[in-house]
């Protein structure tokens, strides 16, 4: 199993500590971790960049829903994540909660603790 260079690059740039610790995982687990990390990092990058890329976030989210309906989007991060989510049985609610939290970051700057 080969890890696509897209995931390798996203992961290495996003979290060097976690990236280097994950290279010790068995290859089949490492590949899945890279796919998962690539998806959440790419999504988060839309809301963390200054200025925020609102359009990019909503386009990415829409492509995810298209992929969930069986359409190949041409985005290796989304298409791979959808296959991983199906394989591992990720609940739709988890992904919805993640998108919701990212969307909140587009509008809200402070949260009560």
pLDDT digits (tens, 9 = 90+) for 55-106: 999 999 999 999 999 999 999 999 999 999 999 999 999 999 999 999 998 8
Domain boundaries, position 67 = 5-106
Residue 112 is assigned to a structural domain of this protein: no
Residue 73 is assigned to a structural domain of this protein: yes
- pLDDT (tens digit, 9 = 90+) per residue, 101-110? 999 988 866 6
Residue 111 is assigned to a structural domain of this protein: no
What domain count does the chain have? 1
Residue 113 is assigned to a structural domain of this protein: no
Residue 101 has phi, psi (to 5 degrees) of: -65, -35
The rounded distance, in Å, linking the Cα atoms of 7 and 35 is: 6
Residue 47 is assigned to a structural domain of this protein: yes
Helix axes of 76-88 and 54-68: crossing angle, nearest 10 degrees: 50
Q: What share of the chain is helix, strand, coil (3-state, %, to 5)?
A: 75, 0, 25
User: Does residue 85 contact residue 38 with C-beta atoms inside 8 Å?
Assistant: no
Residue 70 is assigned to a structural domain of this protein: yes
Residue 100 is assigned to a structural domain of this protein: yes
Q: What size, in residues, is the chain? A: 113
């Amino acid at each position: 199993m080969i890890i696509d260079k897209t995931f390798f690059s996203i992961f290495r740039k996003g979290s060097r500590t976690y990236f280097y610790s994950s290279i010790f995982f068995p290859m089949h687990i490492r590949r899945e971790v890279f796919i998962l990390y690539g998806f959440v990092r790419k999504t988060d990058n839309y809301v963390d960049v200054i200025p925020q890329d609102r359009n990019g976030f909503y386009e990415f989210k829409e492509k995810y829903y298209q992929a969930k309906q069986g359409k190949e989007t041409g985005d290796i991060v989304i298409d791979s994540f959808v296959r991983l989510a199906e394989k591992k049985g990720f609940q739709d609610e988890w992904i919805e909660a993640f998108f919701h939290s990212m969307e909140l970051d587009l509008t809200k700057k402070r949260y009560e603790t």
